[in-house]
Amino acid sequence: MPHDGHHHDHDHEGSELSPLALRVKALESLLVEKGYVDPKALDVLIDTYETKIGPRNGARVVAKAWTDPGFADWLKRDATAAIASLGYTGRQGEHMVALFNTPETHNMVVCTLCSCYPWPVLGLPPVWYKSMPYRSRAVIEPREVLKEFDVSVPDAREVRVWDSTAEIRYLVIPERPAGTEGWSEEQLAGIVTRNAMIGTGIVTA
């Protein structure tokens, strides 16, 4: 199983959280402590951004790549610029690389040292992405990890694992499912899941 050679020689400034995330955590703690916010309400809000609102940006990128060959080519050449052209840019997304799944190759993204993640296109990282079991096992036994996400990759299909760094973030462009011919970009974006854009899921019509 090939493993992309991006090493974590970057400085995480002593924390897995970005300065912005640290400020958010501090504010969250203060609001809960003062009794202004119910922790359960915060959990619902965070889940909304993690699974619903955040990944919609990436889903629109995928849908445009599926329907616009020129945009797909731009993504392959300069994903950062192509994604920024749709208005999705900012911290944690300065240097993007698009990984296109094909019948021969399935791409999967991990951050082995911490939790580097493309916030502008995928929102907040899921808890499992930051967990030590995923970060270690994704590199050692990716096919087994994928099975736990109900993704079975044939032996003949190569699984490539890409290690995110502070310098580079990856966005998986899943294969467009059959039966979606003639669908609009909006319809297509509606079936693209966050996991599919990390490589731990596939898109079904």
Whether 111 is catalytic is: yes
Whether 85 is catalytic is: no
Whether 136 is catalytic is: no
Angle between helices 19-33 and 39-48 in degrees, nearest 10: 150
Q: Which amino acid appears at position 72 of this protein? A: A
Q: How many CA atoms lie less than 13 Å away from 12 in the CB half-sphere?
A: 17
Q: Which of 15, 18, 85, 116 is catalytic?
A: 116
58: three-class secondary structure by DSSP: helix
134 and 110 Cβ atoms separated by less than 8 Å? yes
Q: Which of 15, 18, 29, 114 is catalytic?
A: 114
Residue 166 φ/ψ, nearest 5 degrees: -65, -20
Q: Which of 15, 111, 131, 136 is catalytic?
A: 111
Q: Which of 163, 205, 185, 196 minimizes the C-alpha distance to 8?
A: 163
Q: Which of 15, 29, 115, 164 is catalytic?
A: 115
Whether 115 is catalytic is: yes
Catalytic residues: 111, 114-116
